[in-house]
A and B are shown apart, each in its own frame.
Chain A
Amino acid sequence: MSQCPSTPPVPSRSRTILIVEDYKELRNLIGEILKEAGYQVSEAANGEEGLSWLREQRADVNLVITDLAMPGMDGHAFAEQIRAEQVRQARPDIKIVFMSADPDPVLERVGAWEHGIRLLRKPFTDEELIACVRDALKPE
């Protein structure tokens, strides 16, 4: 798992981002900032809701930002489901960003199975959020 660096802005308008976070106020705030930055944003309160939304969605989703600790399906299980859906439906790659306030050893355990997942450490600023999203969406 790589930490989100402070990258210079990369233009990335008309990209769709799904925010999955059980704490509504935080979810709305993140949504507002990303909309203001020009992204199409959808929100879900947990992994199950996020997965339903992804299954119904016709347009491609470019990025999922998900909290790691959530009641029901947590961020880790949700990310695994996204990967499985991608393979089954031959959908384009969906980038994933985890949000967490957990200490490093817990994050290492969670991130060990997956490469390329970025981490946004809580608490973060709006600038760190935008930098992380731009970094995740930049062409490889």
Chain B
Amino acid sequence: MNAPAPKQKTNLAELARHILEAQDNKSEKVARLLHDDLGQQVAAISILLSTLKRRLPPGDLEILEQVERALQKVVALGDSLRMLSNELHSSILEYAGIGVALRAHCSALSSQPGIRIWFESRGEFEDVPFPVARGLFKIAQETLRDLTAASVRLSHSGGALHLAIQSEPILSLPPKELATLRQRGKSIGATVRVKASQLTASIPRVC
């Protein structure tokens, strides 16, 4: 089969960029639904159960215990909804920028048993445009998904934005996933490279 002509290549890249953008917008909508709608319903159930618990006759310990268990389940459901919503669209990224969002993400991953993700950053990130921050955050999020130990470094200096993820053991990304990461990088002007156990995404000049 012949290699695609330059114009076809550009069209394919443009199409890939649109697909990624559509996916991100969809994820954002679902995240808002989880946070705003389902989260509110969980909050209402929590109040209803706690009121029921308070009104139960004091002697009925078995029912009291079951209501207490249901209440704990609802609180856990609220936590899961928050985590899922954040996985799909980080509200921290939106409000506080990529530095804070990535730190929070690494910290949340490290709170799971058997996972340790170190994070360090250098520079200020508040002026990084949201689409760039979102693209870079997604690259980090997708790379870290199945890792149990890694260090993440983010720097912004002289206009250049650089993300490096060093993993243990060697980073083995499936070709399709790597292609998506590269495409995601391209859509924000970043070059994504993978070498042995390190992934880097660099943007020479963020504007």
With A69-B36, A126-B54 given, is the CB distance from A103 to B47 under 8 Å? no
Count how many pairs of residues, one from A and one from B, have CB atoms less than 8 Å apart in the complex.
76
Q: Is the interface of A mostly helix, strand, loop or mixed?
A: helix
The proximity string for B residues 103-115 relative to A, scoring 1 for CB distances below 8 Å and 0 otherwise, is 0100000000000
In the complex, the answer to whether B43 meets A126 with C-beta atoms within 8 Å is no
Please give, as numbers and ranges, the residues of chain A lying within 8 Å of B82 by CB-CB distance.
101, 103
A25 to B104, CA, bound (A): 32
In the complex, the answer to whether A109 meets B95 with C-beta atoms within 8 Å is yes
The proximity string for A residues 97-124 relative to B, scoring 1 for CB distances below 8 Å and 0 otherwise, is 0000111111011100000000000111
In the complex, the answer to whether A105 meets B104 with C-beta atoms within 8 Å is yes
In the complex, the answer to whether A125 meets B43 with C-beta atoms within 8 Å is no
In the complex, the answer to whether A123 meets B43 with C-beta atoms within 8 Å is yes
A69 to B78, CA, bound (A): 16
The proximity string for B residues 49-68 relative to A, scoring 1 for CB distances below 8 Å and 0 otherwise, is 11100100000000000000
Please give, as numbers and ranges, the residues of chain B lying within 8 Å of A129 by CB-CB distance.
47
Chain B residues proximal to chain A, CB less than 8 Å: 35-36, 39-51, 54, 71, 74-75, 78, 82, 86, 91-92, 95-96, 100-101, 104
10 intermolecular pairs with C-beta atoms under 8 Å apart: A25-B41, A26-B40, A101-B35, A101-B39, A104-B104, A106-B92, A106-B95, A110-B95, A122-B43, A125-B71
